[in-house]
A and B are shown apart, each in its own frame.
Chain A
Amino acid sequence: MSLIVADDLTKTYTTGTVRMDALKDVTFTIDRASFVTFIGPSGSGKTTLLNLIGALDRPTTGRLLVADTDVSTLDRRAAAAFRGQTIGFIFQEFNLMPVLTAYENVEYPLLLIQRVAAAERRRRVLALLEAVGVADQHDKYPDQLSGGQKQRIAVARALVTNPQLVLADEPTANLDHANAALVMSTMRRMRDTLKTTFVFSTHDPRVMAEAEIVFRLEDGRLVGRDVTGAAA
């Protein structure tokens, strides 16, 4: 059973009179609990595709099912609700809320998006801070944390709602080797225990090495699908 079914996706940007296809006839499926990455040169359409999968943007043509929802037809509110319930986002520059502590950042989606009860919230936030190894930093604000710590908190924030799908656009681009490895292993563990599906985009060979399936994009076209050794 596939979590993501993309059928003939095209995304066309029109700037003035210039039309440009950021994605052309992209078709693929991604199974639940898989660890997938999209690679490709800069401008090949990775971010564009992740935005479509994440219901942040709509395809120009084609059909896109994510967790049994046709995300190409959702309106603003429905898309927001869908994202809040189904998807965890990890942003390249962490994008933590500067006025919230590490703990509060992780708590945010449970509090202001899913509106989970207090006790349950606390249990889940503490468990995730523990899992990503930043429990001792919980009352620090983002500007008091290192890049690696911030990224781990961003991961915890994406995972705290137990989303079916986690999307990460270049998640390790700002991390050193050790932190990148730790983030990747945390996500793998989540996948193993909670059957969460992870979809990345990256230039980073370390991320590629961790992925089980690697899709290659070039000029907005899907040009390859490799099953790597990590799948074993």
Chain B
Amino acid sequence: MSTLIKIAVRNLTRYRRRSFLTASLIAIGVIAVVVFEAASGAFTGLMIGQMTDAMLGHLQVHRRGYVASIDNLPLTLMLTPADVAVVEQTLRAQPGVESYSRRLKFGAMFSNYTETTALRLNGVHPEDEWRTLPLLASRITRGTATLEKGHIIIPDLLANGMGVKLGDTVVVIATNRDGSVNAAQLVVSGVLANVTGPSGRDGYLHIEDAMSLLRMDAPEISEIAVRLKDFDQLDQVAGAVRSALQQSTTAGRIAETEVHTWEGLSPFYNVAVLINILALSATLGLVAIVLVSVMNVMLMSVYERVKEIGTIAAMGTMPRTILSMFVIEGLSLGVLGILIGDAVAAAAILGINVIGPTFNFGRETGLVLSPQVDLWQMLIISGVVLFVAVVGTVQPAFKASRMEPVEALRHG
């Protein structure tokens, strides 16, 4: 084996320039894929993190049909206090659930006494909401990162557009379920940065203020946002919650509910999927590069060495040994390309972190891209390249091993 590796390496150094060019081609492919995957992974990770940790939560529970008509924030599709009690019980029983926050969502008119505009509002229990959205505090660009009764946090588009400042008194007007209109005076205590996506421009007020504005006696809830201990457990936990709630519905204990993960709630999911498809295409491109270049260079090697092959075959070298001789050569070429590629890619990723490029997405500015060197991902890509290098070598190597020594020896 070590002899075969020695022969392979020496044959590669014999055609130094050609081997180096092929290895470089493989390396460039590896670099492109590794860096692209790291950067796109960092980007989608960042965007998903923004969305789940500052706005949506990891998953949400609603009365069935709510999400389909979420645009008009209906007050008719609510979870009753009894429903909520069962949902809370279910969530607390789930070991994967970190926290949850009940929200009373409604559309309102917002007035600073000179101008009036529409505003979507979330009535929440502040501690629950803050615990469920760890990045929420960082979205509050002005004012206090808490919410007291009698206060309102408004999106910065509204604050800027209407010239509303912290401490200003504003009026919020809402229509309740019975069709009667009510108003409340609130003090602006915070301004909230936008997040791209649904409810990225909603305001916040205390749930008790929301209840009295809507003249609700008992708290009805539009939405329960849930944070998980481990994001990677998303599908398992969502499934468990879904089936537990389904059972309660079947048992007649609660109304029909629906459970959505962030993927079902945010259009960004489609962007993330698209990015993954791009990464996959890049990998396929890499596979094609490796396959064609390794196969090409190994076919050349076999044709150039017909007489050598004939000689060792005549001496009694087994076809299997000749086959491995060439497969190992192609493999070594792949390994060389991978080593160069991985090293340069890792350096490039670290370099990106040093530079710390920022980008804007939607109305969010100054997001910092910080891709990570993902050893697993590198290992998988390297494994794919290695496998493809072997596949590219098999046909030329097989050709070499099947040569008739008499004919090969007559060659040149």
Contact = CB atoms under 8 A, between A and B. Distances in A.
Contacts of B409: 56, 91, 95
A109 B317 CA distance: 8
Nearest to B318: A80
A113 B308 contact: no
Contacts, number: 63
Contacts of B11: 99
A112 B319 CA distance: 11
Contact of A51 (B308, B317, B406): B406
Interface stretch (A60-68, A82-90, A132-140): A82-90
Given A91-B311, A91-B409, A111-B3, A81 B10 contact: no
A80 B319 contact: yes
A108 B312 contact: yes
Given A99-B10, A99-B14, A84 B316 contact: yes
A98 interface: yes
Contacts of A116: none
A6 interface: no
A113 B321 CA distance: 9
Contact of B314 (A83, A100, A108): A83
Contact of B319 (A56, A76, A87): A76
Given A56-B406, A98-B14, A112-B3, A84 B315 contact: yes
A97 B316 contact: no
Contacts of B10: 99-100
Given A95-B311, A97-B312, A112 B14 contact: no
B318 A56 contact: no
A109 B316 contact: yes
A47 to B, nearest CB: 9
A77 interface: yes
B322 to A, nearest CB: 10
Interface in B348-390: none
Contacts of B14: 98-99
Contact of B317 (A84, A85, A91): A84
**B11, B314, B319: most-surrounded residue (chain A CB, <10 A):** B314
B330 to A, nearest CB: 16
Contacts of B318: 77, 80-81, 84, 113
Interface string A205-231: 000000000000000000000000000
Nearest to B4: A112
Contacts of A111: 3
Contact of A97 (B308, B319, B321): B308
B316 A100 contact: no
Contacts of A113: 315-318
Nearest to A92: B409
B313 interface: yes
A185 to B, nearest CB: 24
A171 interface: no
A95 B316 contact: no
Given A80-B319, A99-B11, A99-B14, A57 B406 contact: yes
B307 interface: yes
**B4, B11, B311, B317: most-surrounded residue (chain A CB, <10 A):** B311
A53 to B, nearest CB: 12
Contact of A95 (B3, B308, B319, B406): B308
Contacts of A56: 314, 405-406, 409
Interface string B396-412: 00000000011001000
A83 B310 CA distance: 13
A56 B313 CA distance: 9
B7 interface: yes
Nearest to A51: B406
Nearest to A88: B315
A40 interface: no
Contacts of A99: 7, 10-11, 14
Contacts of B313: 80
Contact of A83 (B7, B315, B319): B315
A148 interface: no
A98 B319 CA distance: 20
Contacts of B4: 112
A54 interface: yes
Contacts of B3: 111-112
B406 A83 contact: no
A98 B309 CA distance: 12
A80 B7 contact: no
A112 B311 contact: no
Contacts of A76: 319
Nearest to A97: B308
Nearest to B321: A112
A108 B7 CA distance: 11
Interface string B1-14: 00110010011001
**A95, A98, A111, A112: most-surrounded residue (chain B CB, <10 A):** A112
Nearest to A84: B316
B221 to A, nearest CB: 76
Interface in B259-292: none
**B11, B314, B315: most-surrounded residue (chain A CB, <10 A):** B315
Nearest to B11: A99
B321 to A, nearest CB: 6
B316 A81 contact: yes
A87 B312 contact: no
Contacts of A82: 316
Given A56-B409, A84-B316, A98-B14, 4 more contacts: A81-B318, A91-B314, A100-B10, A109-B315
Which 4 pairs from chain A and chain B are nearest by CB? Answer: A84-B316, A99-B10, A83-B316, A95-B311
11 contacts: A77-B319, A80-B313, A80-B317, A80-B318, A83-B316, A89-B315, A91-B409, A95-B409, A97-B308, A97-B311, A98-B308
Interface of A: 51, 54, 56-57, 76-77, 80-85, 87, 89, 91, 95, 97-100, 108-109, 111-113, 157
